Every structure is written in structure tokens, then in C-alpha cells.
Structure 1
């Protein structure tokens, strides 16, 4: 088949040609977005799942829905080692500039700008080319305590949005990389917004441990958020994610080829995209056959190993790599921390700091007390395939 017309898009956050199996999540998000615009109570949402399941794609889709419904949006990817305040400043400034264009919102937007200026000064944030050409407002968002200042800033943004007849949606990807104090302050700010019935909404995405992290940060977080689980697609949806793009290009795919791709990918969206991409390029006719799907396997695995898997493995230190290889040697997870320790000839207590560091890097998580599992689907298979070269 013509590779130029290949419909599949294997890439970080790339929107797949067919967003199968996620309609219920998007419908819930749309309802929350429309309610927020009416200043009706709406619970913010945190999309939780492993790597490669399409959480970023969902966030992008939700941002589009919000923009279609008169929301000003702010999108942040939480980096490791950078504060939330630093990330928010230039983006909130841009959002307030947009809100200030509405005649009825000019005064409220000006007040919010003054609060933002106070916030920047309190946290000594350098904002480079971003110029906030207003005087700070004494006593508002200037205490230097994020738990106090972020809610005050969010209230001012919400008031400006309400005056403009709009809403503000904040979206944060990779929530697990937020510092605990930043996550706690964000939760406090969203709680304040809910109490004030202001048109502000939050959508986040992160690894499965985010639910526990948010609960640890503030005990009432479980009542503040919905936690939609984003996982592998059921068989029917996984097949549709392959079939529809192929048919959209005037081609076809055999049912047994679809079954083969589903079995080999276990329904994980990123793997589906990569396998579909390679199967399309292998096919010589106008129909992708079972033979094509099988011939695509070596190149698909090489691509996944060199990109999706390796970039994550390379972030680990030699000792951390030793730990995850010991996990993989135990078979499919989840794994008992004690079993990994036994395999390494050490105690679970002695390995605690190493395990915590790997969790902090987003490579493993604890699905239940004493258990650990990979955040990357099929990572144990990658490690076992490549033991000789690791």
C-alpha cells in the first residue's frame, strides 16, 4: 500500500485517526464543560492510566471541546523539577489578556492581572518577555504561601471569566511530576473555586499513582475529582481503531489480521497505532491480510524497542536498571517487593530508596500495598527480549 496514505499515527500524543472506545469519557467531559459555563457545580477530572494508553490524546480532545464551548484554555505539561507557579504565570497571563477583550470583563480582568503580578512577586518568578503592566494588589495572592495564594489567584481568574460570559479550563499532563506542595495547593484552589461556583474547571492526566498522590496531598481530593481509568481497549474497540482508518483510505483488512493485531498489542492504543502503521506498509495489495500482520511484527517490535521502551529505560541508573530487570525475570506483574528483593539478594527495606526513585521517575507504581508494577505496558517483555544488550 502507498506509505504516503498510511492513516496511522504512532507518536507521543498524536491524535489517532479513530479515537475508539473513549466516547463515554469525552461525553462526561463535555457535560462538565457545559455546566461550568453556566456556573453550575462540576467535578474536575483526572485521567489515570499506564503509558501509551492515550491520556494526552484525551486531554487534547477535551481542550478542543472546551474551546468549542467558550472556554479559555490553559495547557501545561508538568516537567520534573519545575514549579507549578513558574508554569502557570505566562499561560495565565495569556488567558487573562484574552478575557480582557470582553468589554464587561475589563475591570475583573484588570483585578486578576494585579493578583497575578502580586503572585509573581511573592514567588520571585522571572517571566522574561512576559510583561504584566499593572501594579500589584497588596494583600492578594502575595503571602508567599501557595496554599493561600493560588486559590486567591484562581478566584480572580474565575471572576474575570464569569464577567466575560466565558469559563477557564486548566489542563495539566503528567500530573505525577507535580511537587506534592504544588499538587496540594492546586487541590485547595479547585476546592475554593467549587465553593464560589465560579466557571473554572480542571482536567489532568497522569500515571495510576496520581489518585493516591492527590489523596495524600489533601484528604478531600477523592470527592473533588472524577478519576476515569484509561486503559487498554476492549477487543471490539481495538479492532475498530484499526478497521476504520484503513477503510477510510479505501482499503480493507481481514478479520483474522485484526484478531492477530489485537492479541499481540493486548489492545493498548499506542501499540495498535504502531502495528497498524507497519502492517499497512507491509501489505502489497488493497487488503491487509493475516500474513501482513505477522510480517509487520519484527519491524513493529524494533520500532517500539528503539523508541517507546528504550527512551524510558535509558532514564534509569545502572542500579535502577538492575532492579527492573529483576522484576521482569519474575514474569508478568504485579510483583511483590519482597520477591524482587530476594532475587537481588537484598532486603526490601534496603531497596526502598531505589524503588522510590524508580517510582518518582514514572517507571513503576504500587497498585496495592507491597506490590509494584510497570507503568509501561509489556515492559517486562521488552526487557526479556533485550537482556543480552542491556
Structure 2
């Protein structure tokens, strides 16, 4: 069929033509926005899940919901080597600029921007090599805010104190306008320890004050553990939503709804096979759907078309989704992951066949078993394990276990030569 009309869109954070199976999450966020607008207490929201389940797509969709209600919004992507100070300042700058035209007192906006500028410019002396280094950094970089820098507010240098004051002032601006501010943070598990603690403290303060500012984060499955390690009350501070693979009905909808708009249909057996191949993971659904469309000669699409296209989809996944991540690992880290994959495969009767609903091919593996299979002491493998966690290739949801952050990564490794 015509590849130009191909409706499927496998891509990092790229919204699929049919956002299937996420109605509950969208409805929950609608309730959050409405409650905050009415001055009701509400928690910030954390989305967790493996890579490829559509967290970034959902995060962007939630942001669109907030914008449609005339909220001020900003979005950042956390990086393990970057402080939140500048990205948060840029995101809140964007959010307040969206609110500024509706504010009756321009000087109030300028006052907040002065505080925001002070927050952005206040480098951490300890991290920057002392006060002199912080001042040199201030001389080199400006945040693009054309107002005088405020003093005595959000400029102490302690990120927790400063972020609490900044969020409180931003919420006050939103209150003046009769709306709210939403800060969206992707890859939130990569936020540094001090910054995570500061974010929790700021959200805690806002929840007590009833300020109309919420944080919506998205991260890997161990994000709740990261937040809990920073502040014990984070377990009650946030509303957690696990984003999982699509069930059969939603996966079929993701494939058939865009096709119907192009006057194309699927045979039932083709949808059976596509679900077996993709496992319901949204990224895989799009990848297999795209390859199948390009290889199918006509409508309706058949199971034979899916079988013909599957090697093309798998080759693309092997390079762009699995292989690029595997290449980032050192030899020692690859050995560790291969041991993980081997142990997961021994417990997975569908390792080389189809996905079965009562079998989890991405289940966690005990670290003690990994060490035993490699004939090593667990302590000697800690550097490889810690490095893989920092690279976002594995995570530890429970003490003494690890799992892949990428769906079906173990199956991919079991198909590769040692």
C-alpha cells in the first residue's frame, strides 16, 4: 500500500495517530485540573513505566489539556548531569509569560520575574567551585529576563529553600489570574538527589497552602523509590499512575482506527499476530504497524502480510531501539545484562514465542542469582549494576532485584551472539 498514506508513527515521544488505552489517565488529570481551579486540595502526579509505553506522549497530552484550560505550563527533560535550577527557571518563565497578558497588574509579573531571575542566576557555590566560580558563571550566562534581579527571595543558594519560595510566588501569580501552573518533568528519575528533595519539599509546601501549582513527572518504574529516598512523605505527597502495555482491545484500536480513516481493514488473524509480536507495547505496536502497512499489497491486511513485514520491524527495533542502548554498555555491563537475560529466559516459557498474559517476560531478576550464574561475588558486580542503572538500562524496583527498563530487551539479548 501507499507508504505516503501510512498512518503509523514509531518515534521517541511522537504522538500516535490514535492515543488508545489512556482514557483513564486523561480523565484523572481533568479532575486534578478542575479541583485545583476550584481551590480544592490535590496532589501532583507521577507517571511511571518502562521505556516504550508512551510516558512522554502522555505527558505532552496532559500538558495540552492544561493549556486548553488556560493554565500556564512549562516542560523540562531531566538529565543526571544537570541541576534543575536553570531548566526549572526556563519552564516557569514560559508558564508565567502565558499568564502575563491576563494579569491586571504588570508590576506583579515583573516582581515575580525578578525573583525568577535571582533563582536562575544563583549558582551553587559548592558545585561551582566556590563563590568566585559562581560569580564568574553569573557573568557568563543570563536567563533572558529583562527586569532587575530581586534580592532576598529564592536566592539563598540552598535549592530547597529557593525552590519552595519560587513555587510559592509562581502559585501566587496564578491565583491572581484565577488559573494554575503545571510544570512537566520528563525522565524524572534522573533528577539529582538534592533537587529531588527540593521538589518534594516545594510540592509539600504548596499542598499545605493550597497553591495552584502542580508538578507532573514521568519516569522509570523505580521513580517512586527515588522520591521516597529523598523524602519519606513523598509516598503520600504524589498520585502515582503506572503506565503499562496496552490490553488487546486498546492495541487493536491503535491499529485499526487510523487504518479505517484510510479505508483499510485488518483481518482478525492479522491483529492476533500483531499483538503477539508487539506484546501491546505502544512503541512496538507502531513499529509493527508501520512495517506491515508498507509491505501489505492491499486491504484487508492479512496475517501473511504481518509475517512478511515482521523481520523488517524487528531489524529496525534491533538497531534503533535495542542496539543503540546495548552499544552504550561496556563489556562488563554487557556481561551483566546477558546474565540477566539468560535468567529471565529460563523463567519465561514464551522467550522465543508469543507473549502470554500470565507470564511477565520483563520480570525482575535477583542480583544474587546473577552473581551465581557468573561465578562472581555480588559485591564485585556492584560497579556494573550501578553504571547500568545510571545509564537507564536497568532499574531496581525492590532491594536485591534488577530488571530491564526496555520491554523485551532480554529477548533481544538472547538472540545476539555472545
Q: TM tier, shorter chain?
A: over 0.9
1:292 Cα deviation after fit: 0.6
Q: Determine the structure 1 residue equivalent to 2:148.
A: 135
1:182 Cα deviation after fit: 0.7
- 3-state SS in 1 of match to 2:380: helix
Q: Determine the structure 2 residue equivalent to 1:382.
A: 412
Q: Residue 105 of structure 1 contacts residue 163 of structure 1 at CA under 8 Å; is this kept in 2?
A: no
Deviates more, 1:231-240 or 1:210-219: 231-240
2:174 aligned with 1:161: yes
Matches within 5 A, 1:34-53: 34-53=34-53
**What is the CA–CA distance in structure 2 between the aligned matches of 1:201 and 1:296, rounded to whole Å?**
44
- 3-state SS in 2 of match to 1:203: strand
The ranges of structure 1 where at least 4 consecutive aligned residues each deviate by more than 3 angstroms after the TM superposition are 124-130
- Residues paired across the two proteins, number: 388
Instruction: Identify unmatched segments of 5+ residues in structure 1.
Output: none
Q: Determine the structure 2 residue equivalent to 1:179.
A: 192
Instruction: Identify unmatched segments of 5+ residues in structure 2.
Output: 124-133, 349-362
**What is the CA–CA distance in structure 2 between the aligned matches of 1:229 and 1:368, rounded to whole Å?**
16
1:129 Cα deviation after fit: 5.8
Query: CA RMSD for the aligned pairs?
Result: 1.5
Query: Residues 4 and 215 of structure 1: is their aligned pair in 2 closer, same or farther, counting only changes over 3 Å?
Result: same
Matches within 5 A, 1:362-381: 362-381=392-411
Deviates more, 1:300-309 or 1:357-366: 357-366
- 3-state SS in 2 of match to 1:373: strand
Matches within 5 A, 1:115-134: 115-123=115-123, 124=134, 128=141, 130-134=143-147
1:33 Cα deviation after fit: 1.4
Query: Residues 56 and 105 of structure 1: is their aligned pair in 2 closer, same or farther, counting only changes over 3 Å?
Result: farther
**What is the CA–CA distance in structure 2 between the aligned matches of 1:247 and 1:131, rounded to whole Å?**
48
Matches within 5 A, 1:91-240: 91-123=91-123, 124=134, 128=141, 130-240=143-253
**What is the CA–CA distance in structure 1 between the aligned matches of 2:44 and 2:119, rounded to whole Å?**
24
Deviations 1:137-156 (A, max 9, x none): 33211111111110100111
2:57 aligned with 1:57: yes
TM-score (structure 1 length as normaliser) = 0.96
**What is the CA–CA distance in structure 2 between the aligned matches of 1:387 and 1:171, rounded to whole Å?**
41
1:341 to 361, 371, 374: 371
**What is the CA–CA distance in structure 1 between the aligned matches of 2:105 and 2:78, rounded to whole Å?**
30
Deviates more, 1:369-378 or 1:45-54: 369-378
Q: Determine the structure 2 residue equivalent to 1:318.
A: 331
Deviates more, 1:177-186 or 1:117-126: 117-126
**What is the CA–CA distance in structure 1 between the aligned matches of 2:144 and 2:313, rounded to whole Å?**
48
1:369 Cα deviation after fit: 2.3
TM-score (structure 2 length as normaliser) = 0.89
